[in-house]
Amino acid sequence: MTGSRVAINLGQVRARIRAAAHRAGRAPDDVALVAVSKRQPSEAIRAAYQAGQRVFGESYVQEALAKMALLADLDIEWHFVGRVQSNKTRSIAVHFDWVHGLADATHARRLSEQRPTERPPLNVCVQINLSGESSKAGLDPAQVSDLLAVCDDLSGIRVRGLMTLPSPAEGEMAQRRPFQVLRALRDGLANPTRPLTCLSMGMTSDLEAAVLEGATFVRIGTAIFGPRPYN
């Protein structure tokens, strides 16, 4: 995909966010765009950066580190959006600013211990599995408050909110349902010391539904970069 195509696509995604925010009576700036660049070459990231994008999401640690090295001249905020694995926590803690998808107390402790002390705490969204499928990543809603209690005592990470990745659904009404559940769950768990302001939800196919239900991060890959070219 050419750099100008990436810039055009990015403009269209921003327009979708603006339109959905307008429908929801929300400020478009309250919805941050994470450009999910997994499996895309560093040139595509550079093209999006030149079109004004600063926040990028990656799912595979080794691949991300290689691209970070190639893009070290850019001022990028890196978000890890993949599955956290124990043998990758150190690289995540050192090289990323955010993690969308924490679902395990052991990973939480490791990320906190391994976060360099000179850096601010690693920002984290806790992943919730709302479809009940055991094959899917994320915590059962009933388990979340225990993980939040563990995280409250960890100085190297800071839980900022919740994240979900629902099963694909057709139609806006059906797409909105899990996002509504995530928001309600967040409302019930938030307190003054742990405001949980972030809701990380919405991808290429359900961006509008997520913004209508209060998403503060949408994680968009395909609509910006096209189909993922390699794996």
Residues that bind ligand PLP (CB under 6 A): 36, 38, 59, 81, 165, 203-204, 219-223
Which one, 68 or 201, has the nearer CB to ligand PLP? 201
SS3 assignment for the chain: CCHHHHHHHHHHHHHHHHHHHHHHCCCHHHCEEEEECCCCCHHHHHHHHHCCCCEEEECCHHHHHHHHHHCCCCCCEEEECCCCCHHHHHHHHHHCCEEEEECCHHHHHHHHHHCCCCCCCEEEEEEECCCCCCCCCCECHHHHHHHHHHHHCCCCEEEEEEEECCCCCCCHHHHHHHHHHHHHHHHHHCECCECCCEEECCCCCCHHHHHHCCCCEEEECHHHHCCCCCC
> CA nearest 182: which of 168, 165, 170?
165
In whole angstroms, the minimum distance from the beta carbon of 227 to ligand PLP comes to 8
Please, are residues 218 and 211 in contact by the beta-carbon 8 Å criterion?
yes
In whole angstroms, the minimum distance from the beta carbon of 223 to ligand PLP comes to 6
Which one, 169 or 194, has the nearer CB to ligand PLP? 169
In whole angstroms, the minimum distance from the beta carbon of 99 to ligand PLP comes to 11
In whole angstroms, the minimum distance from the beta carbon of 82 to ligand PLP comes to 6
Say which residues have a Cβ less than 8 Å from residue 160's Cβ, sequence separation at least 6: 98, 123, 124, 125, 196, 197, 198
In whole angstroms, the minimum distance from the beta carbon of 153 to ligand PLP comes to 27
Q: Which residue is nearest to ligand PLP (CB)?
A: 221
In whole angstroms, the minimum distance from the beta carbon of 158 to ligand PLP comes to 20
